[in-house]
Amino acid sequence: MILGTLNLIAETESQRLEKLREYEIVDTHSEDTFDNIAMMASQIFGTTSSFISFVDEKKVFFKSNISNSSYNEVSREDSLCSIAIAMDNDVTVFNDTYDYPELMTNPYVKAEDGIRFYASAVLKSPEGFNMGTICVVDYRPREATSEQLSMLKTLSKLVIDKLENRLRYRKIIQSQINLMNITLHEIKNPLASINLANDILIHKAEKRQDMAVMIKSSVQRIQSKLNELLKQSEKEDKDLVLAIERVNLHELFLKLISNFELLANRKNQKIRLDYPEDLPAIYADKAKISDVLHNLVSNAIKYSYNQTTISISARENNGFVKIEVRDEGQGLNQDDMDKLFKKFAKLSSKPTGKETSNGLGLSITKSFVELHKGSIQALSDGKDKGTTFVVSLPIQYQGDASII
């Protein structure tokens, strides 16, 4: 291996950089998800430092920097990560950088207490582009085992999976926005036709039959466009991929209380928590489970009367955690129960504090719970007798998902 012969600018560099831009990862803040992965790498090797690096056009950006240094980027020409992606191996190892004369000109190697040990796994996109590395470094020589390198490769795949899931989610949102914009644009004409027909009806009664036909046709066109939008939205909901991680429910509940305490106080409501200290963590998509609980508590506050109590309880039951959100609000009748989780459903209950509702929250909540192979149900003894939502989530998620 002759490091001096490496061509650090590959023929596919422009495509690689385009993919890097798509990830929208360079120059972003540090995140616990990536820091945790980098920390795992450091623990596996027992090294002092670890990094998750992305090679940009002229610099290498550290999305995660587990070390004593505070900088988050270095020049591309000075980075060992640049050499690693150019070598195009799954892993790159320098057990002792001093054994490679070509590396002795590198400022981070030749410096006092410089890098002596370096091991990295390339972050390879699905298209085959080397985006950067997850690496561990130490300031004394080491020997990397095949098992350690195998685990480092696994961590590199987790990083890419996380980036791909984010990219896919952004594309889903963008496609929905584009579809909505197209739909809104296309219903302008039928709306204009309805408005025109209405003006004609006011002034020319003899045109009633013709205008009625025009209005009916225009309404059908609007309904057709909206149905297309909803079908596309439903399809993309089902295609969502979960990012599974260990979720501490105690922390989630406390954050929930913090978020809603002021809102509940405005209506003199109290939020009460009840769960055992040994309630197990679950493996789930933390953001989506948070959205589920957020929506249920928000509804409980919204549809409950002043000076009432919202109760949140949780228990373990046969491999599941059962979470209940109970209010002392307006309750549900049978008609409400029949259409409760449908999109844009209009229920008999009305917000007690002039809050707004779009009828989408519970349908989204149900889809998120079912994506986790869980279940949700509503219980109510009738109007003005309160409502309880029961969410059952498996402690260990079983299904296709990325794992953080």
pLDDT in tens, 202-227: 677 666 776 776 677 667 767 666 66
| C-alpha dihedral sign at 18, 24, 29, 35 | negative
Q: If you average pLDDT over residues 292-299, what whole number do you get?
A: 87
pLDDT in tens, 371-391: 899 999 999 988 889 999 999
What are 347's strand-pairing partners?
none
Q: Tell me the CA distances in angstroms from 306 to 204, 205, 300, 352, 381, one per residue in order.
A: 53, 52, 11, 8, 20
Q: Does the domain formed by 3-159 have CATH 3.30.450.70?
A: no
75: left (phi over 0), alpha (psi -120 to 50) or beta: beta
pLDDT in tens, 319-337: 999 999 999 988 988 888 8
pLDDT of 164 higher than 60: yes
The pLDDT assigned to 106 comes to 93
What are 270's strand-pairing partners?
309
Rounded to whole angstroms, how far apart are CA atoms 132 and 84?
8
| C-alpha dihedral sign at 392, 393, 398, 402 | positive
Sheet of 91-94: strand order equals 73-75, 59-66, 49-55, 130-138, 117-124, 91-94
Closest CA to 228 of 170, 173, 186, 193: 186
Contact at 8 Å (CB) between 154 and 167? no
pLDDT of 12 higher than 70: yes
More confident residue, 186 or 294: 294
DSSP code per residue over 80-119: HHHHHHHHT-SEEEES-GGG-GGGGGSHHHHSTT---EEE
The pLDDT assigned to 5 comes to 40
Q: If you average pLDDT over residues 150-174, what whole number do you get?
A: 89
The pLDDT assigned to 137 comes to 96
pLDDT of 259 higher than 90: no
What are 322's strand-pairing partners?
315, 392
pLDDT in tens, 45-95: 999 899 999 999 999 999 999 998 888 999 999 999 999 998 888 999 999
| In the chain, where the domains are located | 3-159, 187-238, 243-403
pLDDT of 114 higher than 60: yes
Strand-strand pairing, 402-403 and 243-247? parallel
Rounded to whole angstroms, how far apart are CA atoms 360 and 354?
18
Task: Calculate the CA dihedral of residues 379, 383, 385, 391 and round it to 10 degrees.
Answer: 20
Residue with tokens 């109970």: 326
| Number of helical (H) and strand (E) elements in the chain, helices listed first | 11, 14
Q: Does the domain formed by 243-403 have CATH 3.30.565.10?
A: yes
Closest CA to 239 of 340, 363, 367: 367
